[in-house]
Amino acid sequence: MKFVLTQTAEIEASVEGVWAAWSNVAAFAEWDPREIATKIDGPFQVGATGWSKQRGNPRAPFRITAVAAPHAWSSECPLPGGRLEISHLVEEIGGGRVRVTKTYTAHGPMTFAFRLHFGRRIRKQMPASFAALGARTRHLGQLRVGKP
Q: Is the pLDDT of residue 146 over 60?
A: no
Q: What pLDDT shows up at residue 148?
A: 45
Q: Among residues of the chain, what percentage have pLDDT more than 70? A: 95
- Main-chain phi, psi angles of 18, to 5 degrees: -65, -45
Stronger pLDDT, 147 or 119, i.e. the higher one: 119
Predicted structure pTM score: 0.90
If one looks up domain 2-144 in CATH, what number appears? 3.30.530.20
For the chain, which residues make up each domain, given as ranges?
2-144
pLDDT per position as a tens digit, 89-125: 999 999 999 999 999 999 999 898 889 888 999 999 9
Instruction: Please compute the mean of the pLDDT values over residues 122-140 and round it to a whole number.
Output: 91
What average pLDDT does the segment 85-90 reach?
98
Q: Before 148, cis peptide (omega within 30)?
A: no
Distance CA 92, CA 59 (A): 33
What pLDDT sits at residue 139? 78
Higher pLDDT, 57 or 83: 83
| Half-sphere exposure in the Cβ direction for 139 (13 Å, CA) | 9
- Answer yes or no: is pLDDT of 12 > 70: yes
pLDDT of residue 58: 86
pLDDT of residue 147: 43
Q: How far apart, in Å, are the Cα atoms of 121 and each of 3, 4, 103, 143?
A: 15, 14, 14, 32
Higher pLDDT, 8 or 58: 8
Number of H helices and number of E strands within the chain? 4, 7
pLDDT of res. 118: 87
